[in-house]
Amino acid sequence: MSLYYDEYGHQQTDYQIMKFIFKLPFAEDFLSVSHHNSGKNWVEFSSFTGDKKLEIKSHSIEYCNEEDLEKFLKKSIKFPAFSNSETFPNHDNYLKEVNKAIEVINENNLQKLVISRPIKKDLQNLDLKETFKNISEKYKNTLRYLLISEDEIWMGATPEILGKFNKNTQEFFTMSLAGTLPLEEEWSDKEIEEQKPVSQYILEKINTFSDDVKVSETYTHISGNIKHLRNDFTATIKPENLENLISKLHPTPAVCGIPKDFCKEKILEIENYNREFYAGYIKIETEEEIYYFVNLRCSKIFQNKIVAFAGGGITPKSNPEKEWQETELKSQAILNHLKFHS
């Protein structure tokens, strides 16, 4: 195996160095972190179930201008081979999963249960650089990211903040984001009922760590071709309680259900696939703030294939066909903005 040296003089093997390129919500500049064996954990991916973690260590977070992005993504990116071991439910199978979720909800008097599916698309000659730039331009109010490692490539534009902590003021911010419709449709009782328990759950968890929680009115949050119902929460918490609060919040009812452990168990039974980093969270630490983003509107990229992930909150009032259409809409956040080499 051949060896080379990175920009810090550290010896590296010829496999693909792990790199994370991202834009924070509304930011204009790309930032990047290249993994090294020493340094600080600036970025961490945690899976939905918490059994898989990926840490990116480095000496610093760097600005990544257009030239840097061009240079890195012009290199020969090694796309991982696709495995046929996963199950990809078709229309009828997904409707059966939704109906099963409704049965579980009614039998156990649950408010909601979030069911998702992986969506596979064949492709040729994907232009990863132009695709990432396109998605970054389309979804400015999201975390836009590209993770490239030896084993896997993930790309996403997630609208949901699990938590944001200011190290100087000790102010904590989070949001409840649930209920999904196309932009042209009006909110119904189904979406309102889906969003309420998410907000109630988050408020209950923050109240155990703070006595000055402030909650916004419910309002509409637009994300590309769809909209959600949203509440914002702010509170002052002690730094030593931050990780504990995040562990209490994740996974929120927006990606799981209440009670959390029971719903997670039922999700794994019904979905019959591994969500991996989808609906997990991405932690990013900067000099002044620590961010935790729920990993939604994301995809995993392979040789000649891409797998997008999408789900929806199932309630007793859910219409299975509409739930299928919701996952189709959500997957378009990635799949409708792919660019290809000519």
**Segment 240-299, tens digit of pLDDT:** 999 999 999 999 999 999 899 999 999 999 998 999 999 999 999 999 999 999 999 999
**Segment 154-213, tens digit of pLDDT:** 999 999 999 999 999 999 999 999 889 999 999 999 899 888 889 999 999 999 999 999
Q: 287: helix, coil or strand? A: coil
Which helix or strand (DSSP H or E) is residue 196 part of?
helix 189-207
Rounded to whole angstroms, the Cα distance separating 330 from 93 reads 18
Main-chain phi, psi angles of 262, to 5 degrees: -65, -45
Q: What average pLDDT does this structure show over 140-157?
A: 95
Hey, what CATH class is 3-335 in?
alpha beta
Which residue type occupies 163? G
Task: Sketch the domain layout of the chain as residue ranges.
Answer: 3-335
Q: Which tokens hold the place of 179? A: 């209920």
Rounded to whole angstroms, the Cα distance separating 17 from 6 reads 9
Please work out, in degrees rounded to the nearest 5, the angle formed at the alpha carbon of residue 199 by the alpha carbons of 195 and 202. 140
**Torsion angle, CA of 193/198/204/210, rounded to 10 degrees?**
-130
pTM as predicted: 0.92
